[in-house]
Amino acid sequence: MDKTSGLKKTKRLALCLLIIASVVFISMLFLPQSLTVQAIKSVAEASMVGALADWFAVSALFHRIPLPLIGRHTAIIPRNKQRIADNLGRFVEEKFLSTDSMIALLRRQAPAEKLAGWLVIPDNAGQLSRLVCQLIAGFLNAGNDQHIRRFLRQGVLRAIDSVDFRHTAVLLLESMTRENRHQALLDALIEQVVRVLDNPESRQFIAGQISRWFRQEYPTMARLVSVEWLGEKGADKVTSMIDALLLDVAQDQHHQLRDGVNRSVNRFIDALKNDPQMQRRAEQLKTWLKEDETFNQYTVGLWDDLRRWLTEDMQREDSATARQIRQATQWAGEALQNDPQLRASLNQHLEQAALQAGPEFARFLTRHISDTIKSWDNRQLSAQIEQNIGRDLQFIRINGTLVGGTLGLLLFGVSQLPLFIQYFRQWLGG
C-alpha cells in the first residue's frame, strides 16, 4: 500500500467513526430515557466531541478554518513555511551533518576495512567492472563526437598556451645535467652505437655507401680496382676508427668529447634562459602547434582511435578494459586488507576530508533543503507533509474518538455514583 492510498483509507476510517458516534448520539435523543440510553448517549457524545476536536486540531495544521477569533491560528504549516524550512535545514546540519557527527560516524563504521572486505570479493569486483564499463559505453554512445573533438581541441590549445616551453626545457635540461647525469645518457648512447657498428648488416651498409661514393667521385679508377673490396676494407677501417674513438670516450671521463658535450649543453641552457631569439622560437613553436593542420588532425585522431578501440573492446566477452578494472579492484582490496597502515591512513584521510569539506558540504545541503522547501507553494508543502505523516495524524482523530468515548463512559459512571451509593445503602438496609 502506497502513502496516498493509506492516507485515504485512514481518513475514511476516522470519518466513519465520527459519523457512527453522531448517528448514535442523535438516535439516543429520540429513545425513552433510561440509564442504559443515557450511558450510550454519553459515550457517543464524548466520542463525537473528541473526534471533532481532534479533526479541528489536525485540519488546522494544514488548512485555514474560517472561525471567528481562532481562524488566524489555523493553517499553521503554510503560515510558518519560512521558519519550518530554516529550522529543518538547521536541524539536519546540527544533528546529522556536523563535523563531530561525521567523524564519529567514520570512526564507528571503519570505511577502509569495509571497503577492503567488499573489494576482495570476486563477484563485487566483477560487478564494479561491469558498472564502469556500462558508464564508459554510455558515455561513448551518448556523446556527440563533434562536441568532444571540439572540447579536446580546446583543451589542447589551452594546454599549449599554459606551457612555457622555454622554461620547461631549462628545468628538464638542468635536471638532466645536474651531477653529470647526462654523461650516463652519453655512455648508453655510445654503447648502442658500438653495438650497431658491430652488426654485420651495418658494416655491409657502410661498405655499400663507400663503394657508391667511390664510383661517383672516381669513375675511372673504379674500372681499375675492385670497388667491392675497397668498400669492405673502407667499412672495416671506418668502424674500427669509430670503435676506438668511442672506447676512448667511454673509458676517459675527462675526454674532450665529453667536455664538448658539457659546453654545448651549458651554452644551450644559457641561450634558453637569456637569448630573446629562443623565446621567439618557443612562441613560434606554440603558434605552429596551434595552427598546424596535421597536428590538429593528430589530436582528433587520438580520440577517434580511442573511441573505436573502447567500443570494440566493450563488445567482447573477454574485454581487456573490464579485466583490467577487475584486477585493479581486487588488487586495491587485497592491498587494503593486508596493510593495516594503509587502512589507517585511508581512514585518517577521510576524517581529514570530513574536517575540511564537511562544514561547507553541510552548509550547502542546509541551504538546498531550506531553499527547496521555500520554493514550494503552500498547497505543495501541506501535501508533502500530509502525505508522509498524515496517516499518523489521522490516527489522532481515531484515538480521539475512542478515548473520548471511554472518558465519556467513565464520566457518566462518576456522575451516577451518588445514585449507586444510595442504591447500595438501600440494599444494605433492606
CB 28 within 8 A of CB 40: yes
pLDDT at 132: 83
pLDDT at 220: 61
Q: State the burial class of residue 404 (Cβ atoms within 10 Å of its Cβ: 0-12, 13-18, 19+).
A: buried
Q: Is 68 left (phi over 0), alpha (psi -120 to 50) or beta?
A: beta
List pLDDT tens digits, range 23-34: 988 888 888 888
List pLDDT tens digits, range 263-313: 776 777 676 667 677 667 767 767 776 677 777 777 777 777 777 888 788
The DSSP code sequence of 185-236 is HHHHHHHHHHHHHTSHHHHHHHHHHHHHHHHHH-HHHHHHS-HHHHHHHHHH
Rounded Cα–Cα distance for residues 31 and 29 (Å): 6
Q: Is the pTM of this model over 0.85?
A: no
pLDDT at 216: 65
Please identify every stretch of the chain with a pLDDT value under 70, giving residue numbers as ranges. 1, 141-145, 160-199, 202-240, 242-255, 257-259, 261-262, 265, 269, 271-273, 275, 278-279, 282, 285, 289-290, 429-430
CB 354 within 8 A of CB 360: no
149, HSE (Cβ side, Cα atoms, 13 Å): 13
Q: Please state the φ and ψ torsions of residue 339, each to the nearest 5 degrees.
A: -125, 95
pLDDT at 170: 64
What cell numbers appear for 55 in the block?
A: 479533526
Q: How many CB atoms lie within 10 A of CB 308?
A: 11
Q: State the burial class of residue 305 (Cβ atoms within 10 Å of its Cβ: 0-12, 13-18, 19+).
A: exposed
